[in-house]
Chain A
Amino acid sequence: MTMSFQTVFNFCCKDPYISSILLLILAPVLGGLLQGLDRKITARMQGRYGPPLLQPFYDIIKLFAKEPMALHRPQTVYATLHLVFMMVAVVLLAQGSDLLMLLFVQAFSVICLVLGGMSVRSPYSWIGSQRKILLMLALEPILLLLILAVNLKTDSFLGSSVMKLNHPLLLSMPLFFLAFLCVVAIEWEKSPFDLATSHHAHQEIVKGITLEYSGPFLGLIEVAHCYEVAFFFGLMMAFWHTNLMFSLLLGSGGFLFLILLDNAFSRLTPNWVLRYMWTVPLSLALVNLIWLWE
C-alpha cells in the first residue's frame, strides 16, 4: 500500500474513532521528535553538543512527576482546555474537515492559554498574554486569507478537497507559503517573534505566559505544544500533497529555515511585529490571492 495523504484521509474517514486515537498518540511523538531535532540542530549551529534527541520527552515526564503548584484553580482549567482544543484541532486537520472551523478551534486553543496567563496576579504573565493576543492579531488575517485562497482553488472549504487537486498547492500559492512560514514562526515562538514566551526564560518578562505554570500543569502545556508543532508541520507538508517524499522535504525545509531564522535574528517589539505582519506577509498573501482570482 503506497503511503500517501489520500490513504491517511481514507483511513480517517472510514474509522474515525480508531484513527483519532492513533493520531492523538502519534502526533505528540512527532512533535516531540521535531522539537528535539530543533534543539540539537540549534545547538550544533551555536557550536555546542546539545541535549539528547529525546530530551523533550524526558522533560515532560519529569514535569508530570513534580509536585503540583498553581496560583489558583481556574488557571489549571485553562491549561487543560488549551490541550483539549489543540488535540481537537489535530484530529480535525487529519479528518480533512472545514478549514475555517479548524482555524477557529486552533485560535481558541491559544486564547485559552492567553486567558490562563491573564487570570493570575502576575505582572510578567499578564504582559506575556497581552503580547500573545497582539501576535494572534498579527497572524490571523493571513491564515484567513490562506483558507479563502484554498477555497478559490478547490471550490470548497473542506481540507479533504485539497486531495483532489492534481498539482501541489506550492506551485500556485508560493507567496502564501512564504507568508505561512512567518505565521509558523510566530506560532512556534521562534525569534524574532518570541515576545510572549520562548523556549528559554531569558527575556525581559522572564517566561511570559507560561511563567506561573509549573509541574504537571506546565507538562500539559508542553504536551499541547508538541501537538501544535505537529499541527503546523502537517500544514507545511500539505503544500505539496501529491507526493509524500516531496512534502516531507518541504516540511523539513521550512523547519530548517525557521531554525536558521531563530538563530539569526533578535527579538522584535510588539508594535514592530504587528506592523511587519500587516504589511509584508499580508501583501504577499493578497497578491497571491489576486493571482488565484479568475
Chain B
Amino acid sequence: MKKAYFAPTAKSWCRTLAGTGVVLACLAAVPASAETVLTSVNISDIRTTSPLEDSDGPTFEAISHVLEGLVAYDDGASIVPMLAQTYDVSQDGLDYTFHLRNGVKFHNGATLTADDVVFAWHEYLGDTSGWRCKPDFTGKGPSKIVSIDSPDARTVVFHLDKPWALFLSTMARLDCLQSGIFHRDSIGPDGKWVKAIGTGPFTFGDWKHGEYLDLVAFKDYSAREEPKTGLGGNKTPLVDKVRLLTIPDTATARAALIKGDLDIIPTLQPADMKELQGKEHVTVKGAPGYGIAGVLFGLRPSPFTDLRVRQALAQSLDYKAIAQVAMQGLAPANNSPVPTTSPFHDDVTATMHKTDLEAAKKLLAEAGYKGEPITLTTNNRDPFALQSSVMIQAMAKQVGINIQIETLEFGAYISRYLEGDYQIAVMGYGARLDPALTMDSIAGDRTVEKRKPWNDPAALDLLYKSMQVSDTAERQKLFDELHRMFLDKVPMIILFNTATAYAVRDDVEGYTAWAGATPRFWGVSKSAAK
C-alpha cells in the first residue's frame, strides 16, 4: 500500500532532519573565529587575476587591491606617487625618473627593487601581452616609451620619444591596472600567469567562480604615511578579509544589504538609492562623478545631419530636469565634455546650451524638418539611459521633433553603438580622470572609429595638443576652446556627469567614495557585530 508505505517513513525522516537541524544550528550559532570579514558585491564575476589580459570593470577593481603602480590618482584626480617616493620630469618632458620607496614588500616577502619594475613593464609591453594600455604606450597615442632603465636598485627611468602630458595619467588609469608592479614569480616557467604577487594591501584568496572572490589582507603591507586619497596614500587594510559576492541582480543585492547579508554596495545606480534611504542601519551617499552621459548623433541618415536640427534639439531640452530625474539630483546638468568635478571646470566650461523653444522651432522650419520620425536607440541596462530617453522624447515633442524610442538589450546595443549604426542614441561612459581622456572617448576620425561622434579635424588637433602640453594654464585654454567648439557644432549633446552612489551598513567605518568611483576596501573596518 503506497500510502501506508509513505507515511511512517516520511514522519520519521522529518523527525531526524529536524533533530539534526537543531543540533547543527546550535553549533553554527557559536561564532567561528574572530576574523573580520567585509562583504561586498560584484555585478559579475571577475575574469582573471592577470593584468596582462584585457578585462572588465570588476576585474580591474579587484586587481586594484592587489597590485600597485609607480603613481596613483588621488581624490582630486591628480597624480601622486605610490611605489615611487618621488619622481622628476626632465625639462624636455622626455625623461621620467622615479625614485622608489625603501623596503616595500611583495606578498611573497621579497623587497621591491628597480629590477622588479623593469620586469613588470617589459611584460606589459611584451609581444604576448594583452594589456589594454599597451597601444597607448607603444605609439598609438601622442608618444611612446623608447626605453626603461634602472641605473640603480632604487631608480627607474622611462624615456619617451615625444612630450606627453598624460603619461603619468595613463599609467595610473584603473583600466591599465595602474601599471601595477608584480613580482616575477607571478609568471610560471612556461610563461603563463600563475598568481598575482604584488605589493597591494590585499591578496587574492578563495575564488569560487560565479559565487564569490575573497581578498585577504596582506599583514605586512608597506603603507605610505599620507592619509588615504584616491587610489593612493595610506592603504592599510583594517579587516582580515573582503568577500566579493557575485550578484548580477541589483534588486537582490539591495535586499541583502537591508537584511545585513551584505555590508557594502559600492556602486549603486542613483535610481536605486530611494529604496535604501531611510532603511535601518543603512547609510546611502552619492556624488557626481567623471563619467559622461549624452545624446550621440549616428551614421544612419536622419534629419540630424543638418546642424540646425541638432541645434534645435539642443535648445529644446530642459537639462536641469533631465539631470534631476536621471541622477536623482546627485549631479548637476552639464553640457561640457569637461566634468563638473574636474579641476579644469571653469566659467567657460560651465556655459550650456540655451533652452529656447521658439528659437528651436524657427531652426527646424529653416532646415525644412517636417516631423519625420526619428529613432532614438537606447539600452535596457542603465536606468538613466531609459529615463533620459523618455524625457528627451517628451521635450523634443514640444518643438515638433518626433522621436520614437528603440530599447535594445545591451549586447545588441553595444554592437550598434560601436558601428555608429543609429540615428541618435543615448550613451553613458565610464569615468576618465582627465578631460583630454574624456574627449578622446568621443572624438576621433569617424571613418576609422565609427563609435566616436565628434569628427572634427580642428578639434582633434587641439585635443592632441592638450595631451602633449603639460602646462595647466595652457591646457585650460585648450579645453575652453574645445568646449566652445563642442557647443557650436553639436556633434553630441552631453546631458550630465554620471553620479555614483554607494550604500553601507552602519557598522562599517571608513568607507568613502572617490572621483574614480571604484570601491576601496582598505582603511575600512567593521565595528563589533550588531
Q: Do A and B come from one complex?
A: no
